[in-house]
Structure 1
Amino acid sequence: MLSLSAVSRAWSGVTFDLGLDLGSANLAVFSQGRSLVYPACLAVDVRKGAVVAWGEGARRLEGRVPPFIEVVYPIQAGAPADFDLCEELLSRLFASLGISRPRLLVGVGWELTEVECKALEQVARQAGARSLQLLPGPLVAACGGDLPVLEAGASMLVELGAGRCQATVCCMGSVLVREVVRSGGRDLDRRLADHFRRVHGLLVGPRTAEEAKILAASASPELRGRSYLARGQDLESGLPRGMEVFSEDLTPVLRPYLRQLEELIRRALEATPDELAAQLSQGGVALAGGASLLDGLEQYLGRRLGLPFRLLERPARAFCDGLEKLVGDAQAFERIATQQLVRMAG
């Protein structure tokens, strides 16, 4: 068994050039004092197998290009789904930042298998990374949200991403409880697009479905009354058509997603030791991730679970803020990294 001092010495003096969150929808990056977010996608000409755009350039093409141009998201649930395109995405990211052979600090989900972690390391090295250090993503995001994860007492963070949702209870730099579902905001977008097609005979792209979710959907009945003008293709006539959709119309689409989220948090609470769970009833639960911005979500979860819920100040950027702190604060990184190695070595 490794001693605490031996593990701590292993992290002494470790530095990083780049902090990175491999999201299904976005790459959150901290580099050289800058916090940046890039869409995690590539536009590929399938006739030639050539990449024609990446990042924001590729995202702008989504739903607006001929069939032979596909917008691909090569990272799913934090792991490479397409090795070659993931390597291409990271290579272009490094080049755009002007960093050669970066030393990476990467936050990952607990559900990643050892095989997926090794695949991630291989892809990063092939893309030009000199080294790669993995840390539990929930701890990174919690640090970014100023949760007291390095102190005694429980902190709970629920991260709602594009490809997965995870609920984590942290204490003194360690993760005590973790529950994960490999389904997220992008799956909700697909269900919304399917709803437009089946119920309204309107074919819409992923961008329109996402905008309807952001601008019209609501998790709380008392906050309904929002609307959004969706534009797409009429399935019967084939002509362009627009229609105004209201929050009430989207409620049935939200229900399965909300039930899944509620059950995820219940499992995490049930697995939390009683004394720490009592602390959560006072301190509440923090929400992070882009999908946490769903209108009325805090109120809905608070009613259903009997706990106070709150959005972090910058929920969509909590991970990036955490990377900034850990890349720039060697002591905080050492404490978290040491706890992870001691836990694994024990």
Structure 2
Amino acid sequence: MAFALGLLGHDIAVDLGTANTLVYVRRKGIVLNEPSVIAINLHKNTVVAVGKAAKRMMGRTPPHIATIRPLKDGVIADLDAAERMLRMFLQKAHPNRFLAKPRVVVAVPSGTTSIEQRAVKEAAYEAGARRVHIIEEPMAAAIGAGLKVGEATGNMVVDIGGGTTEVAIVSMNGVVVAKSLRVGGDELDEAIITHTKKEHALLLGERTAERLKIDLGMARPAPVSARDAGSVPKGRHRVGVQAAHADAAPLTVDEEEPGPPPAPHRWNPFRSRAKAEAAAPAAGPRALAPGACAPVRGRDLVSGLPKTATITADQISEAIEDEVQAIIDAVQTTLDQCPAELAGDLLDNGIVLTGGGALLRGLAERMGDATGMPIRVVDKPLYSVALGAGRCVERFQAMRDVLLPDWSRR
């Protein structure tokens, strides 16, 4: 049977994200995690590089080589570039040619229109899929986080990705209430660039802003009034991302590509989830020392010359405050729309944070103070959507109810 399945090709799940694309192959787990970037030679109309190699080229190419991020705010902005990028990612993930085209499950934001979903499916078909199925990102994140989405119990998930924040309450294999906010890690990076322009007359590159966010980013504590209003019920405990340590060393930022992420957790249907979770090392941000800062290099907007400035963690917190508050507001709005029957479930189960944004220092505590609910950050937040979509390809028939209605290519 295994041999026959091999001849027919492996089904694939794709987390096609604004910042990163993850590919999950049935019976293998997550086999690819690359930046959603492609470099194209405009003179020859050929692909120069994709993924990490293309991201390293950003801001450093001659005019005839364009580095393109095909997705914006969680949806495809450049269909041709998205098709080419996805095709190359699938070839990387499964270098052996398929004897039969695979089924592909793709995760998309919950707020996408039918036209945006059709663009995603068209990209997957052009990349070599036999059949394309769509799953909403918050549902995939909930499954990947281990929530029992098929039961008549309310669970709330907040997935903070590169282009969007997905807030949803799920129950009985469906999304009961959802809000898709086009604010994510990219908007935090842009806020840092804008703030540095204003305060230091310094123009930063996207990669430098991203490193500042990772190394110095922290959500400010909620105002005292908000903490009082959102007190946690007696007996509940909030779980933050990571406690700060006073003896942590100050951080610095350079222009190098960050090191490779820890090996992703792979969903293996033939062993228990507990063993799988134990095998996956936890990832979290480094704690910040008081007064943490970093020297950064950019272009002086006055002189046009290279310039170095020192950026503090407090300045980064100030820069991203509006975006952090927008995420908190989206969570509170979703809670306001929660059916009364599910409200008690949420008090018991709390809110689950997934996505790269879940690693922002202080965000879990800020959200807990604002909502008065326990907050849990999953062990591997960057992989939750891919793992959830991957479970659908592992148990396709059993998980069909969580997929959106599909259509044949015409």
Q: Which residue of 2 aligns with 1:23?
A: 17
Q: 1:1-346 maps to which residues of 2 (within 5 A)?
A: 17-32=11-26, 33-35=28-30, 36-96=32-92, 97-98=94-95, 99-100=97-98, 101-221=101-221, 225-330=291-396, 332-337=398-403
**Contact 1:153-1:172 within 8 A present in 2 as well:** yes
**Rounded Cα–Cα distance in structure 1 between residues aligned with 2:291 and 2:23:** 36
The letter for the 1-side match of 2:312 is F
Which deviates further from its counterpart, 98-107 or 265-274? 98-107
Q: Which residue of 2 aligns with 1:8?
A: none
Shift of 1:212: 0.6
Shift of 1:207: 0.6
Shift of 1:132: 0.5
**Contact 1:63-1:207 within 8 A present in 2 as well:** no
- Structure 1's consecutive aligned runs of 4 or more residues displaced over 6 angstroms after TM superposition are none
**Rounded Cα–Cα distance in structure 2 between residues aligned with 1:290 and 1:208:** 17
Q: Which residue of 1 aligns with 2:280?
A: none
TM-score, with structure 1 as normaliser: 0.87
**Contact 1:214-1:295 within 8 A present in 2 as well:** no
Shift of 1:29: 0.9
Shift of 1:152: 2.3
**Contact 2:167-2:330 within 8 A present in 1 as well:** yes
**Rounded Cα–Cα distance in structure 2 between residues aligned with 1:331 and 1:114:** 24
Secondary structure at the residue paired with 1:238?
A: coil
Q: Which residue of 2 aligns with 1:7?
A: none
Q: In 2 relative to 1, CA 297–37 (structure 1 residues): closer, same or farther, beyond 3 Å?
A: same
Deviations 1:144-165 (A, max 9, x none): 1111212221110001111111
Higher fraction of helix:
1
**Contact 2:220-2:321 within 8 A present in 1 as well:** no
**Contact 1:231-1:241 within 8 A present in 2 as well:** yes
Which deviates further from its counterpart, 153-162 or 143-152? 143-152
Shift of 1:64: 3.0
Which deviates further from its counterpart, 126-135 or 216-225? 216-225
Shift of 1:16: 5.8
**Contact 2:74-2:162 within 8 A present in 1 as well:** no
Shift of 1:217: 1.8
**Rounded Cα–Cα distance in structure 1 between residues aligned with 2:402 and 2:80:** 32
Give the number of the structure with larger relative contact order, counting CA–CA contacts within 8 Å between residues 6 or more apart. 2
**Rounded Cα–Cα distance in structure 2 between residues aligned with 1:315 and 1:268:** 21
Aligned length: 326
TM-score, with structure 2 as normaliser: 0.74
**Rounded Cα–Cα distance in structure 1 between residues aligned with 2:314 and 2:188:** 16
**Contact 2:218-2:362 within 8 A present in 1 as well:** yes
Which deviates further from its counterpart, 67-76 or 308-317? 67-76
**Rounded Cα–Cα distance in structure 2 between residues aligned with 1:239 and 1:76:** 31
**Contact 2:352-2:378 within 8 A present in 1 as well:** yes
**Contact 2:12-2:390 within 8 A present in 1 as well:** no
Residue ranges of structure 2 left out of the alignment (5+ in a row):
1-8, 222-243, 245-287, 406-410
Which deviates further from its counterpart, 126-135 or 265-274? 126-135
The letter for the 1-side match of 2:386 is C
**Rounded Cα–Cα distance in structure 2 between residues aligned with 1:231 and 1:80:** 32
Deviations 1:235-272 (A, max 9, x none): 33333332221111123212210121111111110111
